């Protein structure tokens, strides 16, 4: 599923900036917040797609 792969990539890409933000790097914190917004959007699309496939599977 494309959305899931995209979600995994976004989380992996954010890992380095998360470490930097925890160390006090304010710019990295800004990048993390932006990345988290993207993660939220992709996760929502994945959630909707799974729900649609579930609903479609239950329809006779």
Question: What is the mean pLDDT, run by run of 10 residues, along the chain of 60 residues?
Answer: 93 95 96 97 95 76
Give me the pLDDT at residue 54, please. Answer: 86
**Global pTM?**
0.81
Give me the pLDDT at residue 58, please. Answer: 63
Helix, strand, coil percent values for the chain (each to nearest 5): 90, 0, 10
Give me the pLDDT at residue 55, please. Answer: 85
């Amino acid at each position: 599923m494309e959305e899931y792969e995209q979600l995994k990539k976004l989380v992996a890409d954010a890992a380095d900036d998360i470490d930097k933000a925890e160390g006090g790097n304010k710019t990295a914190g800004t990048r993390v917040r932006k990345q988290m917004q993207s993660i939220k959007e992709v996760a929502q699309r994945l959630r909707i797609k799974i729900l649609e496939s579930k609903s479609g599977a239950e329809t006779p």
